[in-house]
Amino acid sequence: MTTRLADIAAQAGVSEATVSRVLNGKPGVAATTRQSVLAALDVLGYERPVRLRQRSEGLVGLITPELENPIFPALAQVIGQALTRQGYTPVLATQTPGGSTEDELTEMLVDRGVAGIIYVSGLHADTTADMQRYDRLRAQGVPYVLVDGFSPKVQAPFISPDDRAAMSLAVTHLVSLGHQRIGLALGPKRFVPVQRKIEGFVRTMQDQLGLGAEAVESELVQHSLYTLEGGQAATTALIERNCTAVVCASDMMALGAIRAARQLGLDVPKDISVVGFDDSPLIAFTDPPLTTIRKPVPAMGQAAVRTLLEEIGGTPAPHSEFVFMPELVVRGSTASAPGDRTRS
């Protein structure tokens, strides 16, 4: 092994330590240096380690957290179609409770020689997660793009909706209908999209209603789970604090909010208004049809594919975040505030 390292190092014009780092997939080696080492392996007739063999041009991995929320299948469909048009085959890998973790799915995809990976709402969105896993992946020469969530610690392109602007659209709409006690129901605070939604919500409540930031966050923001049951629990708590409108961080949570209102004998939208987030498929056909903030899924999915293919092609995007503007879709779950029926 030592002789082989010395031969490869001499052929590539680098140190044996550098050769060892490349062969073991360690970070901290320039791309050109890594290519020199791999070329030396080929010239000397050594077989490349499995993880360093030429990536399959046909396969691209797509890792999503789950498929119960219809926004994830919608995004997967856009990404899958865009990849297929470019001659690639998408490989969908889904995390399930008690099932495979993101790291296990990544390892599976890398072992199958995927040309790149797109992560949707992965650990990159969790501020408590170890981001070194992405450095290790880059050291293995696997290009990747991260959707929904941003970390300054990861040198990669990110694709995000403008969560702050989304909350501004929702709050401005509700204030125009006369609502002043507006609640926000969302997921755990450790996630970047949650933190950004809070920032946008608090700032707009300050600007529109003159409320103090601390009062807004302590009284009108309720954390729960990104599920129908989570939305129901959060909304029940917000109604108890006299909220006449609730903005939810997903359409699934918004359906839970409507259920909470009805269980308390309230009518939506006469007694309480509800706004969702995503504009998931079929959400226009709920009862009542849901007012929501439309996530720009087609644009985000196509941008993720375009950016990944540039990475695969050797022209990587800078470490930056591409932010897409959401859109307010007004339907039947919002109306003027109780006692303020003169407004339209």
CB atoms within 10 A of CB 178: 18
Share of the chain above pLDDT 90, in %: 72
Tell me what pLDDT residue 78 has: 96
Six-digit token pair at 26? Answer: 């360690």
- DSSP track, 186-247: ES-TTBHHHHHHHHHHHHHHHHHH---HHHHHHHSEEE--SSHHHHHHHHHHHHHTT-SEEE
| C-alpha to C-alpha distance for 124 and 175, rounded to whole angstroms | 34
Tell me what pLDDT residue 325 has: 97
User: Per-residue pLDDT for 299 more than 50?
Assistant: yes
Angle at 235 between CA 231 and CA 238, to 5 degrees: 145
Confidence of residue 2 (pLDDT cuts 50, 70, 90): low
Task: Indicate the burial class of 13 (C-beta count within 10 angstroms; 0-12, 13-18, 19 or more).
Answer: exposed
User: Per-residue pLDDT for 197 more than 90?
Assistant: yes
User: Per-residue pLDDT for 56 more than 60?
Assistant: no
User: Per-residue pLDDT for 110 more than 60?
Assistant: yes
Non-local CB neighbours of 126 within 8 Å, separated by 6+ positions: 149, 190, 191, 192
Read off the pLDDT of each residue in 121-133 and give the average, rounded to a whole number: 95
pLDDT digits (tens, 9 = 90+) for 307-342: 999 988 877 777 789 999 999 999 999 999 997 644
Tell me what pLDDT residue 103 has: 94
Confidence of residue 151 (pLDDT cuts 50, 70, 90): very high
Rounded (10°) angle between helices 132-139 and 102-111: 0
Q: Which DSSP category does 125 fall into?
A: G
pLDDT digits (tens, 9 = 90+) for 257-298: 999 999 999 999 999 999 999 999 889 899 999 999 999 999
Is beta strand 291-294 parallel, antiparallel or unpaired with respect to 327-329?
A: antiparallel
pLDDT digits (tens, 9 = 90+) for 23-55: 887 777 777 788 788 888 878 888 777 666 555
User: Per-residue pLDDT for 302 more than 90?
Assistant: yes
Tell me what pLDDT residue 112 has: 87
Q: Would you say 177 and 334 are in contact if contact means Cβ atoms under 8 Å apart?
A: yes
Confidence of residue 141 (pLDDT cuts 50, 70, 90): confident
Share of the chain above pLDDT 70, in %: 95
pLDDT digits (tens, 9 = 90+) for 230-262: 999 999 999 999 999 999 999 999 999 999 999
